[in-house]
Structure 1
Amino acid sequence: MLNSADIQFLLAIRKSASLLATAHTLGLTPSAVTQRLQQLEKKLGIQLIDRSARQLRFTDEGELLCRRGAGIIDQFDDLLEELHALRHGMVGKIAINAPFGFGRRYVASVVAAFRQRHPDVEIRMTLSDQPLVASSDRFDLVVHIGELRDSSLISHHIAPNRRMLCASPAFIQSHGLPGHPEDLAKLPTIALHENNEDVSLWQFRQRRTTVNIRTQPALISNDGDVIREWATEGLGIILRSEWDVAESLARGTLVQLLPDWKPPDANVVALTHQSAGLPERIRTFMRMMQEQFRPHCPWRLSKVERTQRD
């Protein structure tokens, strides 16, 4: 089977105009060049060069192969350049999947800023309550919050994030403050349903003690804004990410419960299908996401800092 190296070899002969000069150009011995030419002609079953003449002369078949082959090599080089541009340049497409609330509040602004800087990159962002479940293989990058279970995807840290147990002052006045995680089993709770997780099983840790509590959610939604609003209205206790409830805690519309008992952290990560060989456009987008949470995450700013930022 003829390959690109064979065509390039034949083109080198035509450019050098002699087998001796070709040997010098390619750093081979004259006998090696002659042997390779014979092998190529044998492989094709065609004589490519008339070596009986005083000057090197290509046969009609050899001329055809050089002429058409040169075009093929040019197309191949163009293809490699395009692949290189996609790998290292800011062209191509990025398909992103992110959770509803976090995607609206933080990812969308990065997409807008990235697009302004790199207008040749096309971005498709999908917001979902199941970013891991919803065909993650169709996306170049998946934004995920929380523990990553049984996934072949590669995790890239974006920002730290804790989970917090919260309720409104009105709820506390009506039901009292829980003194232990076990009290939650008897109190109205509100759950967020995402990624097909067990939304009624809550875990807490204090020093070396871990407690798993099976709650009985009175309300369940797949939208974090909705359950936060329900909690603000005094309808139950929520277990939510600090990025989502930090402003409510600062305003006093929600109060943190059981601060000495720590739920598992829910760090923000970006998931990709591979760790090495990521296109530059994807690596640059992830860096821009990371930069917006440095040196401090917006949800960990003080009231004064938050006011100045706004």
Structure 2
Amino acid sequence: MLSIDDLRFFATLSVSSSLAGAARELGVTPPAVTQRLRLLEAKLGLRLVDRSTRHLRLTDEGQFLASRGGRIVEEILKLGADLAARKGDVVGHLRIVAPFGFGRRFVAPAVAAFRTENPQVTISLTLSESPVRLGDDRWDLLVHVGELKDSSLIVHRLAPNERVICASPSYLAARGEPRQPEDLKGHDCAALRENDEDVTLWRFTEAAGDTHAIRINPQLSSNDGEVVRRWAIAGLGIIMRSEWDVAEDLREGRLVQVLNDYHLASADIVVLLGAREGRTARTALFLRYLSDALSPTPWRSFDAGVQHR
């Protein structure tokens, strides 16, 4: 007969790319994972994993067990949390997903503080360059920066955030300052690849409402915002970044905002919650905790010279 431990084991295995990855997640050796999988398959009399490929691939029976078993595990955990909530306790496991840069700087410290105050809650924080691509069965709360193209998930706005065009003083001294968006075609630019966006198309709006769509030809690009920011500080080109990331650099003079008469689409910080009913008390409590951590807005707690609209 299947046990809850069997279901938990296979639920972890099913979302891993390899047996070695599952071993790291479970905190055991790869041979131990292989042995436990064999015992589970022997117990059921079914083959759950196709071992003919280098990557872990579930058989039809394995996919069925992962789907049904995962829901059963989630319901059992939710039942325990709901019973604990009746006593006023906050318990259970909380799954959080956030972008790399913002997650490191703002979400991770909030997670640490929240865990200290709620020691019966275990938390997994996954940082991703494209968080919204992860299915909502993989998280309870997702932090997103920028526009959402389409979402049926419940959205909570956490904090305002403008996009900024900026460069280092040394770059502007050597190459001159662009006065209008079209001038960017004659400048070196660096682009950040994130959220499956068209990162080489920069869209500007004038105060009068006229729009400009400029296709830049980036000499440098990366999927890491910290790398792009450091390139700009080093004088390697002009960048578009969120104010949360460059506000302090602007205040300290390491970067200078340009094209101030033109507006870029805002990239507010939002939280997505799955549309499932019966959201847990720990999710709601962490949402309030994160909201409080970002109020007042940290990157606007000093005068950085960013133009807000």
| Structure 2 length-normalised TM | 0.69
Partner residue, 2:80:
82
2:197 paired with 1:197: yes
CA RMSD of aligned residues (A): 2.1
SS of residue matched to 1:132: helix
1:236-256 Cα distance to aligned partner (Å, 9 max, x none):
111000000011101101000
- Cα distance in 1 for partners of 2:220, 2:95 equals 33
1:6-60 Cα distance to aligned partner (Å, 9 max, x none):
xxxxxxxxxxxxxxxxxxxxxxxxxxxxxxxxxxxxxxxxxxxxxxxxxxxxxxx
Paired residue type of 1:93: H
2:272 paired with 1:271: yes
Task: Tell me how far 1:128 sits from its aligned partner.
Answer: 1.1
Partner residue, 1:210:
211
Give the direction of change, closer, same or farther, for the CA distance of 1:203–1:81 in structure 2 (3 Å limit).
closer
Contact conserved, 1:178 with 1:257, CA < 8 A, in 2?
A: yes
Partner residue, 2:5:
none
Partner residue, 1:252:
253
- Cα distance in 2 for partners of 1:172, 1:81 equals 60
Partner residue, 2:230:
229
SS of residue matched to 1:271: strand
Partner residue, 1:146:
146
Unaligned runs of at least 5 residues, structure 2 = 1-75, 305-309
Partner residue, 1:242:
243
Count of residues in correspondence between the two structures: 226
1:255-285 Cα distance to aligned partner (Å, 9 max, x none):
0001111100000011111286421111110
SS of residue matched to 2:203: strand
Task: Tell me how far 1:152 sits from its aligned partner.
Answer: 2.2
Partner residue, 1:172:
172
Task: Tell me how far 1:220 sits from its aligned partner.
Answer: 0.7
- Cα distance in 2 for partners of 1:222, 1:134 equals 17
Task: Tell me how far 1:136 sits from its aligned partner.
Answer: 4.2
Unaligned runs of at least 5 residues, structure 1 = 1-77, 305-310
Identity %: 48
Contact conserved, 2:152 with 2:275, CA < 8 A, in 1?
A: no
1:44-102 Cα distance to aligned partner (Å, 9 max, x none):
xxxxxxxxxxxxxxxxxxxxxxxxxxxxxxxxxx9997362366641111111111111
Contact conserved, 2:168 with 2:234, CA < 8 A, in 1?
A: yes
Contact conserved, 2:165 with 2:241, CA < 8 A, in 1?
A: yes
Contact conserved, 1:97 with 1:139, CA < 8 A, in 2?
A: yes
Give the direction of change, closer, same or farther, for the CA distance of 1:179–1:101 in structure 2 (3 Å limit).
same
Q: How does 1:95-106 map to 2 (within 5 A)?
A: 95-106=95-106
Q: Which has the larger radius of gyration?
A: 1
SS of residue matched to 2:111: helix
Paired residue type of 1:124: S
Partner residue, 1:62:
none
SS of residue matched to 1:178: coil
Task: Tell me how far 1:298 sits from its aligned partner.
Answer: 1.4
Contact conserved, 1:86 with 1:279, CA < 8 A, in 2?
A: no
1:188-213 Cα distance to aligned partner (Å, 9 max, x none):
11111111111101111112112111
- Cα distance in 2 for partners of 1:185, 1:150 equals 31
Contact conserved, 1:161 with 1:243, CA < 8 A, in 2?
A: yes
SS of residue matched to 1:213: strand
Give the direction of change, closer, same or farther, for the CA distance of 1:303–1:147 in structure 2 (3 Å limit).
closer
Paired residue type of 2:121: V
- Cα distance in 2 for partners of 1:83, 1:168 equals 51
Q: How does 1:10-89 map to 2 (within 5 A)?
A: 82=80, 84-85=82-83, 89=89
Task: Tell me how far 1:301 sits from its aligned partner.
Answer: 1.9
